[in-house]
Structure 1
Amino acid sequence: MDIGVLPPVDEHAVIVSATAVEVWDALGETLEQSFGRPRSARYARLVGVADRTASGTGPLAKGSAFPGFRVADAVPGRKLVLVGRHHFSTYALVFHLEAEGESTRLRAETRARFPGPGGALYRLLVISSGAHALLTGRLLAAVRRRAEQVR
């Protein structure tokens, strides 16, 4: 999937008082925990995601999958590209890790296309409602907490 053709949806960022390696490890653990829950699998079935179960060698390995996402690219400590699709959207979630002194800036960039009337309704329910922003913010905060606990 060429994520460059997907329109930008939003971007969120946090500053983490940890190295990029520590943030990378915390990101993998947090994704595995967050998307490994039964609730994620139920949601995946409900909207018809392409990747409904975990597979591969780990949450940050290229080609691996977990409910809702497949790892399209992974540059440890720098960038993680997750892609997915379901009945109402084709999307990418890109994490950028940027060293800033003794801290790391972690950005989550969302890109997506919402085709047809079903996609428009889905966008309204998930994006326009603020639910996506809330969940992305919680995910970034969880990564920050986990990475900072290591120190």
Structure 2
Amino acid sequence: MGGPRRYQDVHTLMIAALPEAVWAAVLDQVEVLGPSWYVRAIGCRDRRAVGPRPLTEGSVVPGFRVTTADPPRLLVLDGVHRFSAYTLAFRLVPDDTGTRLEAHTDATFPGALGAIYRLLVIDSRFHKVATRSILARIRRRSPAGPDGAVH
């Protein structure tokens, strides 16, 4: 049957704010990504927030460990639990109208339980809905300049 199936996707959202404002909103949102009950239920490696703040390499939030922090351009998180190993990367790209925010997911789902988990989370489209919701919350928390324009 082969190795674990891999899942990759990218979601992109334009935000009318400077990269530094979007970066701050990303950091705020990452702090609340994994509800503690869910992180415990699926057996995440990283279960509680530890390490330096603001987030940097080695910082941990429930469900994720920061592997790269290059403000205000790139934040890479990785995680492991009973059913999956995964990476979530936020890339911020300056644009004439603000910042393009990209959320990149890369995950594998080993074994029969991994396949079932993939069916419940990925094939059900729950992951797409959740990722879009995260991006929308980041956009709401990203203030534009004082006159509403991106400078």
Return the TM-score normalized by structure 1.
0.88
| SS of structure 2 residue aligned to 1:97 | strand
Tell me whether 1:43 sits opposite 2:71 in the alignment.
no
Q: What is the Cα deviation at residue 107 of structure 1?
A: 0.3
Q: Deviations over 1:53-91 (max 9, x none)?
A: 000112521100011000000100100000000000000
Match of 2:86 in 1: 91
**Greater mean deviation of Cα atoms: 25-34 or 122-131:** 25-34
Contact 1:95 1:109 survives alignment (8 Å):
yes
| SS of structure 2 residue aligned to 1:28 | helix
The within-5 A match list for 1:66-81 is 66-81=61-76
CA distance in 1, matches of 2:62, 2:145: 27
| Fraction of identical pairs, as percent | 44
Q: Deviations over 1:15-41 (max 9, x none)?
A: 000011110001111222444xxxx11
Q: Deviations over 1:2-21 (max 9, x none)?
A: xxxx9442111100000111
- The counterpart of 1:104, out of the listed 85, 99, 102, is 99
* Alignment length (residue pairs): 142
Displacement over 6 Å in runs of 4+: none
The within-5 A match list for 1:4-19 is 7-19=6-18
CA distance in 2, matches of 1:8, 1:33: 23
| SS of structure 2 residue aligned to 1:134 | helix
Tell me whether 1:139 sits opposite 2:140 in the alignment.
no
Which consecutive unaligned segments of at least 5 residues does structure 2 have? Answer: 147-151
CA distance in 1, matches of 2:74, 2:7: 17
CA distance in 2, matches of 1:12, 1:27: 14
Higher helix share: 1
Contact 1:32 1:59 survives alignment (8 Å):
no
| SS of structure 1 residue aligned to 2:113 | helix
Match of 1:3 in 2: none
RMSD, aligned α-carbons: 1.6
Specify the code of the residue in structure 2 equivalent to 1:18. A
- Distance of aligned partners of 1:105 and 1:63 in 2 relative to their CA distance in 1, 3 Å threshold: same
- Distance of aligned partners of 1:51 and 1:14 in 2 relative to their CA distance in 1, 3 Å threshold: same
CA distance in 2, matches of 1:77, 1:7: 28
**Greater mean deviation of Cα atoms: 140-149 or 115-124:** 140-149
